């Protein structure tokens, strides 16, 4: 007598193809609507690039900086200065990414050597120094009035470029996290002493991850400055670092797509709810508390059906 095995129960989850189609449709919608929805979508996409890059540090490496907005602001100032000088757009974006990464190349060693809570504080201190410099170096940055400029692209072309940059960012970071380099970052996050005992140069891996994330955040800052047509010392203020960190946590760390979702939701909430009440930040706080109580996977875990 042959006994047939009982069929396995498969937990339903949203197919990846459906997620990609839904994301593509969502990104295409602002082009059809135009006006303020297009402006808001461009803003959200720029933040999404930075949030996905920050997730490489927060989610995959276990580092929590509070001065990462410095790279965003640097990218914006570089974009403004080079656009005013007539530098072509591709070179401007590349320079913004490189200079943001160079800033981290100089400041990250001290912060990484300190480690722990001191990493957070040192990155914050460097960012505050940069904000002070931007506010006082009036001849170059325009001081507290900021620096206005006429972007090479605006409207739908800039949105398409920003969306393409987001897609490229997600593709590159996904490949990176699935590579041997990404596996070592995961090992460092889970047990740094063991990774060091196995012979991995932990500091070098951390340093490399910080430089990579900084380049993408600088690129996002450049696109954000082009979107607004102005860059000010406020773009370097530490509270903006907290906003970017909230986007990562809201969407869900260690997923890359999660921070993108968090950036989109945060931007929409800020724009829509703040027009009706000044307590919109409280709504974001309640949403974060609810996500913490139900699990650490963020909104992405609810959408994709995956656990953190």
List the one residue out of 294, 215, 209, 307 whose CA is nearest residue 258: 307
Please give the share of the chain, as a percent, with pLDDT higher than 70.
Answer: 87
Confidence at residue 11, expressed as pLDDT on a 0 to 100 scale: 42
List the one residue out of 229, 234, 245, 235 whose CA is nearest residue 284: 245
Confidence at residue 270, expressed as pLDDT on a 0 to 100 scale: 83
Sign, Cα dihedral of 230, 121, 108, 185: negative
**Does the pLDDT at position 8 exceed 60?**
no
**Does the pLDDT at position 203 exceed 90?**
yes
**Does the pLDDT at position 57 exceed 80?**
yes
Dist CA 56 CA 58 (whole Å): 6
Q: Which of the four pLDDT bands, split at 50, 70 and 90, describes residue 55? A: very high
Confidence at residue 228, expressed as pLDDT on a 0 to 100 scale: 92
Residues 172-195 have a mean pLDDT of 93
The residue extents of the domains of the chain are: 35-143+151-237
Are 137 and 143 within 8 A, CB to CB?
A: yes
Sign, Cα dihedral of 252, 44, 239, 205: positive
Confidence at residue 2, expressed as pLDDT on a 0 to 100 scale: 44
Confidence at residue 166, expressed as pLDDT on a 0 to 100 scale: 94
Q: Which of the four pLDDT bands, split at 50, 70 and 90, describes residue 250? A: confident
Highest mean pLDDT of the ranges 24-33, 146-155, 209-218, 257-266 = 209-218
Cβ count near 137 (within 10 Å) = 13
Confidence at residue 3, expressed as pLDDT on a 0 to 100 scale: 42
Highest mean pLDDT of the ranges 12-26, 70-84, 243-257 = 70-84
């Amino acid at each position: 007598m042959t006994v047939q095995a009982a069929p396995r129960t498969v937990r339903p989850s949203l197919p990846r193809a459906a997620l990609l189609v839904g994301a593509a449709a969502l990104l295409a919608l602002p082009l059809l609507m135009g006006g303020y929805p297009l402006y808001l979508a461009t803003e959200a996409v720029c933040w999404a690039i930075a949030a996905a890059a920050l997730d490489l540090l927060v989610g995959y490496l276990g580092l929590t900086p509070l001065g990462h907005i410095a790279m965003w602001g640097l990218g914006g100032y570089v974009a403004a200065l080079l656009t005013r000088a007539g530098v072509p757009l591709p070179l401007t974006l590349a320079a913004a990414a490189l200079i943001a990464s160079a800033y981290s190349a100089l400041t990250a060693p001290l912060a990484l050597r300190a480690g722990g809570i001191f990493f957070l504080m040192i990155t914050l201190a460097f960012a505050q120094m940069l904000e002070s410099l931007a506010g006082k170096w009036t001849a170059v940055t325009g001081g507290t009035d900021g620096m206005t400029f006429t972007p090479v692209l605006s409207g739908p072309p800039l949105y398409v470029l920003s969306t393409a940059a987001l897609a490229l960012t997600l593709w590159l970071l996904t490949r990176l996290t699935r590579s041997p380099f990404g596996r070592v970052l995961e090992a460092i996050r889970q047990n740094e002493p063991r990774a060091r005992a196995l012979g991995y140069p932990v500091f070098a891996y951390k340093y490399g991850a910080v430089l990579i994330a900084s380049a993408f955040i600088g690129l996002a800052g450049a696109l954000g400055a082009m979107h607004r047509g102005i860059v000010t010392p406020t773009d370097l203020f530490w509270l903006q670092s907290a906003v970017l960190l909230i986007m990562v946590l809201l969407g869900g760390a260690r997923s890359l797509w999660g921070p993108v979702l968090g950036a989109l939701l945060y931007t929409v909430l800020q724009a829509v709810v703040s027009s009706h009440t000044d307590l919109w930040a409280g709504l974001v706080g309640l949403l974060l508390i609810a996500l913490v109580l139900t699990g650490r996977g963020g909104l992405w875990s609810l959408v994709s059906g995956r656990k953190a």
